[in-house]
């Protein structure tokens, strides 16, 4: 069972210093203060502005408004319909801008949430940071290799707070499971199999054909990395977390089997990501069958773990190993005889027995925890867990991987390098 | 604000603005009908719609069901990560700041509690669990069990602060269960999505207990909705033509269990902490699905005179109420818009399993 402190792991890791580089992440926050819905004072007021209040942006607004003291003071989007939706969501008229740069000129903004399509992340994140505001940026961090390096440089050179929207980092059952994996509970983790299956054409209805690319940007290569980027980036982040590094290679494949509607990204994607020591992550996404849902399996040399959006379950090693312990009793005392009627399935059959589930019944939505954590980091000037290096790790795998997927090729993933001075 | 006072005069305002038909006069006659379904909120949501293409229909259904699942993630008291579950866990320990939508939903639900003098009450979470209606097949609790949860049921023990947008429970053990209103709210949200698309004609159903009709099928005045005779499979009490409005049914036998020959339903009296047995079925037609869902339960729970009084004050609402005493008589019908089949009104009793 997790305690409240571990639930809130990662609210702060280190005091932000003037010379802050990209400091080591993934540590435990034993000194993190316990925060909840404590009464707030005006000093705790935090005014956020949102660039890109589409479906994900609106969900982030909902979550941020569950954090005491947070107000939404402005939004920016090129699609004006969003403004009415935001007003309904927030319950009042929120100042709205078609040009986000005008919005950033406001003096009453304490932090910026970037939830625009990934194609624009670098522009929006960097401009927001250069306006002097901490940024909560949705995944995937950048759209191109250059974008990723530019964001890293902007964040580190400014010393500003940047948190990427990889909320699994804030899910207590993910934290607990990965802590136990790192402690060796399933031996050496060697493979991560990630599934994200849906039964959904991924297409939004468009009131005007001229808006097709604006609304259905996920379906076109010039604005989207497809399923690998939009879904797989979260799971790649988990694999990076488990393996403690970013992948070195990506082998990709994609096709369209059902939705021949003019889209240029596939409706199914497979990718194999190579890590050091021969370790692998296999990502598979379908959109014509939802059977597997969103789940990861972590396979180790002595057990397996299933990670889902609601829980984590550990399974011991299925095949017994010869332990090499002292068996002299078999000679000294002899062996016992009796009936042998226990049925065992063929050892090539998949295991269908129970596992040991991590109790996550008291866990809130990880996106809420992530938003709460960001607010805490801004108020206390501390660095988030899902920082720019976390964002870089999955983003670079996606920016390279989508090309591997589109081409059906294998590519090397550019690695982290110290930010420019 | 505390709901312990001052709520009486305030009529509930639906959390989702009333649907305003703004369709192009596109006759759906030439359009094919598509049907989709998705499991959600402990039932199956179904969407029928006329559309010019399967791709378009699929996209619309995708957006509609995405909204259903969003509401489920907001209001499910089964899912630990939902906003409602967070409120249930924390609102006695400290005031819980919530988002405007959740606050407005709760505000609306408690407005119905005030309006009905507590006959409608979403603080029945512990009561439903005691009766085995929480992911279970039902059981009769002991008097001691019911006595132990009495203080944990009661809408007056929830304090909403609109200035801070916080929810606070004044006593420990309160658990909100939105079963009597949540599906209606989800249907209204879907109607909003369909309105934005827009679609010329559509019917959304939350497991058949709450429906909303947009427009009508080609050549029809409205979408036909059959109101059954409870306990008599195949017998129809009335067929309503629904258009740009909603209908909800609360039924004694919809979620129930049989114990020693007695049939126990899941619509509870917060006064006696026992299932209400004075009504068999209520069907309400109202402009908003949140309203019709809540009203079907409110009317179910109110005594006869209060039911009549409430309906008098709601001219936009029509209702059809069946009680056990009406086995051979006409059901209570208020502004009911369709003929009622008299010969079929031989309703089952509480002692029968259908």
Domain range for residue A202? Answer: 170-363+400-412
Question: Does residue A421 form part of some domain?
Answer: no
Same domain, A185 and A38: no
* Cα separation, B98 vs B90, whole angstroms: 12
Same domain, A93 and A175: no
Q: Are B103 and A62 in contact (CB under 8 A)?
A: no
CATH number of the domain to which A329 belongs: 3.30.360.10
Walk along chain B (354 residues) in steps of 10 and give the mean pLDDT of each run: 39 58 57 93 94 90 95 94 96 97 96 93 93 84 93 96 96 95 96 88 95 94 93 89 96 80 86 90 96 95 93 95 77 93 53 38
Chosen for mutation from B49, B62, B163 (greatest number of chain A CBs closer than 10 Å) is B62
Same domain, A109 and A247: no
Same domain, A135 and A241: no
Sheet of B281-286: strands edge to edge?
Answer: B33-40, B43-50, B202-206, B210-214, B245-251, B281-286, B318-322, B332-334
Question: Does residue B171 form part of some domain?
Answer: yes
pTM over cut 0.90:
no
Question: Does residue A419 form part of some domain?
Answer: no
Q: Are B107 and B2 in contact (CB under 8 A)?
A: no
Question: Does residue B95 form part of some domain?
Answer: yes
* Cα separation, A365 vs B79, whole angstroms: 10
pLDDT at B266: 84
Question: Does residue A393 form part of some domain?
Answer: no
Mean pLDDT of chain A: 88
Residues of chain A positioned with their CB less than 8 A from the CB of B59: 201, 203-205
What is the average pLDDT across A104-115? 98
Question: Does residue B344 form part of some domain?
Answer: no
Question: Does residue A420 form part of some domain?
Answer: no
A127's CB contacts (< 8 A; 6+ apart) are A100, A101, A104
Chosen for mutation from A204, A311, A365, A375 (greatest number of chain B CBs closer than 10 Å) is A365
Longest dimension (CA), chain A: 86
Element (H, E) at B105: helix B100-115
Question: Does residue A273 form part of some domain?
Answer: yes
A367–chain B nearest CA distance, Å = 10
Query: Nearest chain B Cα to A66, which residue?
Result: B98
Q: Has the ipTM of the complex gone over 0.85? A: no
pLDDT in tens, A403-413: 999 999 999 99
Which tokens sit at A390?
């976390």
Does B81 sit within 8 Å of A363, measured CB to CB? Answer: yes
Question: Does residue B156 form part of some domain?
Answer: yes
CATH number of the domain to which A383 belongs: 3.40.50.720
Domain range for residue B103? Answer: 85-176
Question: Does residue A418 form part of some domain?
Answer: no
Does A66 sit within 8 Å of B97, measured CB to CB? Answer: yes
pLDDT at A328: 66
Same domain, A117 and A236: no
Same domain, A260 and A283: yes
Question: Does residue B167 form part of some domain?
Answer: yes
Nearest to B63 among A38, A204, A366 (CB): A204
Question: Does residue B265 form part of some domain?
Answer: no
Kindly tell me if the per-residue pLDDT of A34 is higher than 80: no
Q: Are A401 and A252 in contact (CB under 8 A)?
A: yes
Residue A116 confidence class, pLDDT cut points 50, 70, 90:
very high
Nearest to A37 among B56, B96, B99 (CB): B96
Residue A417 confidence class, pLDDT cut points 50, 70, 90:
confident
Chosen for mutation from A205, A219, A312 (greatest number of chain B CBs closer than 10 Å) is A205
> CB A400: neighbour CB atoms within 10 A?
23
| φ, ψ of residue B36 in degrees (nearest 5) | -135, 155
Same domain, A156 and A236: no
Task: State how many domains chain A has.
Answer: 2
Same domain, A90 and A63: yes
Same domain, A370 and A305: no
Strand partners for B318: B285
CATH number of the domain to which B172 belongs: 1.10.3980.10
Kindly tell me if the per-residue pLDDT of A271 is higher than 80: yes
Helices (H), chain B: 54-75, 83-90, 100-115, 125-130, 143-149, 182-196, 289-301, 304-312
* Cα separation, B350 vs B256, whole angstroms: 11
Question: Does residue B335 form part of some domain?
Answer: no
Residues of chain A positioned with their CB less than 8 A from the CB of B166: 37
Sheet of A70-76: strands edge to edge?
Answer: A96-97, A70-76, A46-51, A111-114, A135-137, A162-164
Same domain, A131 and A274: no
Residue A319 confidence class, pLDDT cut points 50, 70, 90:
low
Query: Nearest chain B Cα to A290, which residue?
Result: B38
Same domain, A122 and A150: yes
Does A365 sit within 8 Å of B73, measured CB to CB? Answer: yes
Which tokens sit at B35?
């049907």
Same domain, A335 and A377: no
Does A203 sit within 8 Å of B58, measured CB to CB? Answer: yes
Task: State how many domains chain B has.
Answer: 1
Q: Tell whether B104 lies on the interface with A, counting CB pairs under 8 A.
A: yes
Query: Nearest chain B Cα to A63, which residue?
Result: B99
Question: Does residue B328 form part of some domain?
Answer: no
Q: Tell whether A67 lies on the interface with B, counting CB pairs under 8 A.
A: yes
Which tokens sit at A38?
């404590």
């Amino acid at each position: 069972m997790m305690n409240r402190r571990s639930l809130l792991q990662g609210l702060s890791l280190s005091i932000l210093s003037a010379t802050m580089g990209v400091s080591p992440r993934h540590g435990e926050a034993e000194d993190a203060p316990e925060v909840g819905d404590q009464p707030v004072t005006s000093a705790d007021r935090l005014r956020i502005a949102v660039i890109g209040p589409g479906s994900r942006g609106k969900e982030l607004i909902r979550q941020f408004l569950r954090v005491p003291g947070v107000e939404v003071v402005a939004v920016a989007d090129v699609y004006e319909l969003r403004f009415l939706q935001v007003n309904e969501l927030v319950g009042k008229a929120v100042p709205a801008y078609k040009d986000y740069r005008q919005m950033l000129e406001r003096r009453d903004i304490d932090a910026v949430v970037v939830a625009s399509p990934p194609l624009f992340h670098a522009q929006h994140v960097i401009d927001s940071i250069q306006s002097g505001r901490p940024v909560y940026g949705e995944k995937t961090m950048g759209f191109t290799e250059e974008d990723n390096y530019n964001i890293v440089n902007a964040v580190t050179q400014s010393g500003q707070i940047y948190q990427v929207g990889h909320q699994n980092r804030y899910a207590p059952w993910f934290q607990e499971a990965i802590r136990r994996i790192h402690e060796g509970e399933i031996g050496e983790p060697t493979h991560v199999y990630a599934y994200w299956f849906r039964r959904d054409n991924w297409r939004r209805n468009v009131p005007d054909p001229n808006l097709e690319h604006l609304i259905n940007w996920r379906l076109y290569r010039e604005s989207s990395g497809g399923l690998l980027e939009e879904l797989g980036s979260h799971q790649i982040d988990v694999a990076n977390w488990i393996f403690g590094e970013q992948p070195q290679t990506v082998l990709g494949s994609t096709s369209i089997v059902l939705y021949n509607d003019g889209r240029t990204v596939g409706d199914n994607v497979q990718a194999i990501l190579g890590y050091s020591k021969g370790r692998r992550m296999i990502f598979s996404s379908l959109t014509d069958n939802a059977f597997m849902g969103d789940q990861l399996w972590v396979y180790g040399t002595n057990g397996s773990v299933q990670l889902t959006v609601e829980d984590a379950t550990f399974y011991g090693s299925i095949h017994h190993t010869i332990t090499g312990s002292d068996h002299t009793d078999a000679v000294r005392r002899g062996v016992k005889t009796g009936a042998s009627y226990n049925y065992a399935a063929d050892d090539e059959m998949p295991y269908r027995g129970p596992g040991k589930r991590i109790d996550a019944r008291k866990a809130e939505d990880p996106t809420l925890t992530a938003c709460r954590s960001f607010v805490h980091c801004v108020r206390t000037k501390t660095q988030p867990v899902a920082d720019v290096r976390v964002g870089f790790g999955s983003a670079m795998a996606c920016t390279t991987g989508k090309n591997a997927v589109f081409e059906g090729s294998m590519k090397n993933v550019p690695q982290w390098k110290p930010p420019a001075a | 604000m505390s709901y312990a006072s001052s709520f009486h005069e305030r009529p509930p305002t639906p959390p989702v603005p009333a649907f305003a038909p703004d369709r192009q006069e596109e006759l759906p006659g030439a359009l094919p009908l598509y049907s989709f379904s998705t499991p959600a909120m402990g039932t199956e949501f179904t969407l029928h719609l006329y559309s010019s293409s399967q791709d378009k229909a699929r996209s619309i259904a995708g957006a509609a069901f995405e909204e259903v699942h969003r509401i489920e993630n907001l209001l499910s008291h089964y899912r630990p990560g939902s906003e409602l579950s967070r409120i249930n866990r924390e609102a006695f320990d400290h005031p819980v700041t919530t988002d405007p939508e959740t606050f407005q939903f709760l505000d609306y639900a408690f407005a119905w509690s005030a309006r009905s003098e507590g006959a409608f009450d979403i603080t029945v979470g512990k009561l439903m669990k005691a009766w085995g209606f929480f992911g279970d097949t039902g059981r009769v609790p002991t008097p001691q069990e019911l006595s132990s949860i009495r203080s944990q049921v009661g809408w007056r023990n929830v304090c909403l602060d609109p200035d801070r947008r916080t929810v606070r429970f004044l006593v420990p053990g309160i658990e909100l269960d939105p079963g009597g209103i949540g599906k209606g709210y989800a249907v209204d949200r879907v109607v909003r999505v369909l309105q934005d698309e827009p679609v010329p004609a559509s019917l959304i159903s939350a497991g058949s207990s709450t429906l909303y009709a947009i427009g009508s099928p080609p050549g029809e005045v409205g979408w036909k909705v059959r109101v059954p005779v409870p306990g008599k499979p195949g017998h129809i009490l009335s067929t309503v033509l629904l258009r740009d409005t909603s209908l909800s049914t609360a039924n004694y036998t919809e979620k129930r269990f049989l114990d020693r020959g007695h049939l126990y339903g899941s619509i509870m009296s917060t006064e006696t902490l026992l299932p209400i047995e004075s009504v068999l079925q209520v069907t309400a037609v109202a402009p908003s699905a949140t309203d019709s869902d809540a009203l079907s339960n409110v009317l179910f729970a109110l005594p006869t005179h209060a039911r009549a009084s409430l309906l008098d004050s709601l001219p936009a609402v029509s209702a059809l109420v069946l009680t056990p005493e009406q086995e051979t008589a006409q059901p209570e019908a208020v502004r009911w818009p369709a003929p009622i089949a008299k010969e079929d009104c031989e309703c089952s009793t509480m002692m029968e399993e259908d």
